[in-house]
Amino acid sequence: MIPSSFPDSTEIARLTARMLLEIKAVHFNSREPFTLASGLPSPTYIDCRKLISYPRIRSTLMDFLTVTVMRDVGFEAFDNIAGGETAGIPFAAMVAERMALPMTYVRKKPKGYGRNARIEGAMSEGERVLLVEDLTTDGGSKLSFVDAIRETGATCGHTAVIFYYGIFPETEKTLGDHGVKLHSLCTWWDVLAEAKTQEAFDKETLDGVEAFLNDPRGWQETNKK
């Protein structure tokens, strides 16, 4: 069950950032950048999958995610909670449990045998589906999951994530043009602010990350190998 009171969105963002730093899900390295799935460099990397190993933190964040969606959209706005393969599956299950709703998951591609389905679980025509994922960068990967949900005859106008990069201005437009509203707990700006407060990294590293956040495309172009 969901407790009756929660912090406002600003405090939720701060606490989420604090928890991500506490479990060392946040990685900053401006000297030796990480390579993202896109092939582009980044001085930041976040591993939200680590959350499943920390029961107190994962429970709190799932409470936060559930109440954020309820506040933003409504208490009776959904009929089904879908997780994206694979990182979204455990978080969708936990949100579905809190909202007392059916849970399904969406494969990245058909499994190639049997029913050849992308949707696992029971999803019906006309159901209002919330897509739950761990994070989003530019929003592009969510569109395939949304389309698979809509192909069943269900609707999907909302996606909820723990972490949103919050630095690529096209993200919300990409999702919005597809009829999808994004809900999230915190962004890189929230993590950077908390990291500064905690002095979790040295000043040179934090300055390098801030330069990236202010101009991510320019930073990536300059630091491409």
Residue 213 lies in a domain: no
Determine the Cα–Cα distance for residues 19 and 26; give it in Å rounded to an integer: 10
Residue 220 lies in a domain: no
Residue 181 lies in a domain: yes
Query: In degrees, to the nearest 5, what angle opens at C-alpha 72 toward C-alphas 25 and 15?
Result: 30
Counted domains in the chain = 1
Residue 120 lies in a domain: yes
Q: Count the helices and strands in the chain (H runs, E runs).
A: 8, 10
Q: Is 156 helix (H, G, I), strand (E, B) or coil?
A: strand
Q: How confident is the model at residue 115 (pLDDT cuts 50, 70, 90)?
A: low
> In terms of residue numbers, what domain contains 107?
9-206
Q: How confident is the model at residue 139 (pLDDT cuts 50, 70, 90)?
A: confident
CA dihedral 92, 95, 97, 100 (to 10 degrees): -110
Determine the Cα–Cα distance for residues 148 and 108; give it in Å rounded to an integer: 9
Q: What's residue 14's pLDDT?
A: 98
Report whether pLDDT(3) > 60.
no
Residue 21 lies in a domain: yes
CATH number for 84: 3.40.50.2020
Report whether pLDDT(92) > 60.
yes
For residue 40, list its beta bridge partners: none
Query: Which backbone phi and psi does 92 adopt, to 5 degrees?
Result: -60, -40
Determine the Cα–Cα distance for residues 6 and 174; give it in Å rounded to an integer: 30
Residue 112 lies in a domain: yes
Residue 97 lies in a domain: yes
How do residues 188-202 score in pLDDT, each as one tens digit? 999 999 999 999 999
Query: In degrees, to the nearest 5, what angle opens at C-alpha 146 toward C-alphas 144 and 213?
Result: 75
3-class DSSP string for 175-188: HHHCCCEEEEEEEH
Report whether pLDDT(39) > 90.
no
How do residues 143-159 score in pLDDT, each as one tens digit? 999 999 999 999 999 99
Report whether pLDDT(107) > 80.
yes
Residue 189 lies in a domain: yes
